[in-house]
Each structure stands twice: as C-alpha cells, then as structure tokens.
Structure 1
C-alpha cells in the first residue's frame, strides 16, 4: 500500500506538525453539525481508520451513515494519515485521542 505520509516507529503525534488535521477536523465538524450526536465521533473515527461503518451505527445515526456512505463527507487528508500510521499504534492512538477532542 502506498503511504502518503512518512510516520516513523518512534514518532509522536503533534498537531503542530500536521496542521491540516485541525482544519480537516473543523471541516468535518461543520459538515456534520446538523446530524444527531449519537455515536457521531465513533462513527467518523471508524470511517477514517477502517474505511467502514458498523451495522448498528447505520440504524442509530442513519443521517451520518448516509452522509459518509454517499461519499459526501469530505475528510481532507485524515484518511491518508490514518493509512500511513496503521502499524504505528502510539502515533495512531495519540492522533485518535486528539481527533476525539476536536470532533466532539
């Protein structure tokens, strides 16, 4: 798999080095401002990390699920960054924790 970003084994996530993460999270917040908050952050993070949604979420937050599955939700570079750090658990967990705060 081609990795757009080079994340090294001992790298720590720092939003100052990935300023687009803040902008992309803001863009997602604005695009999803009108949908129910039920599992909203979990659904978005799951999609960014795994490119998939749990079936249960389709029923609890159908509007957000439709927004994501239709391809209407713009995610900027976030999916690429998650793809680039698949095998870097510390970096990935730190980025996920940061995004949890930004998306809530």
Structure 2
C-alpha cells in the first residue's frame, strides 16, 4: 500500500517527512549501544524487504534480534520505502540519510 506520492525527480528531505525523521531518531537512540558496523544497511534492508543477510544475523545477532523484534517501530519508514520502490533517486537519498544517521 502506497501512502506517499513520490515523483521520479523527488529526493528525500527529513524536514518533509517529520514522522519518519522522528522514527529514525528513536531508532538511532535504540541502536546507539550496539557496536555492529552495519546498522544502516540492516535497518534499510529490514524496512525495505523485512529481510537481513545471514552474515549480519550471525555476526550481529543481538542487533539483528533488536531490529526484527516487534518492539522496533519502523512502520513509517516501511511505508515510505514501499512508496518509493520505483523512484530510484528518492530511494537512494532516503537510504543515504538513514546510513548517515546511524553511523
């Protein structure tokens, strides 16, 4: 289900998506105690496809459990990824924002 209308030339700006930016701030706080270096990739993968690479699960088991738990709230990011599945420019800018935020 697409919640957002995203055009081919649109890019992600956090100010335009305050609920998603707030959700990411909460995620950053939750994940700040975890040392795994793949936080951004893991959150992006799970928000986009509800999947994690086996390497991540094996090497960052605690973090993988946190990300896949029902307590980990990413509904707004999931809807945003669903809405931009075919808009590569927007999707890449969203992925970059998430990765940068979780470094």
Give the 5 Å matches for 1:57-76. Answer: 57-76=56-75
Give the 5 Å matches for 1:8-87. Answer: 8-87=7-86
The CA deviation at 1:76 is 4.3
**Which structure shows the bigger proportion of residues in helix conformation?**
2
Where has structure 1 moved over 6 Å in runs of 4 or more?
none
Higher relative contact order (CA 8 A, sep 6+): 2
Aligned: 1:98 with 2:91: no
Question: d(CA) in 2 for partners of 1:44 and 1:80?
Answer: 14
User: How many aligned residue pairs are there?
Assistant: 103
- Could you tell which deviates more after superposition, 88-97 or 16-25? 16-25
Contact 1:45 1:96 (8 Å CA) reproduced: yes
TM-score by length of 1: 0.88
The CA deviation at 1:88 is 0.3
Write the deviation string for residues 28-60 of structure 1: whole angstroms up to 9, x where unpaired: 011122222231221111111221101111111
Matched residue SS, 2:33: coil
- Could you tell which deviates more after superposition, 90-99 or 71-80? 71-80
Matched residue SS, 2:24: helix
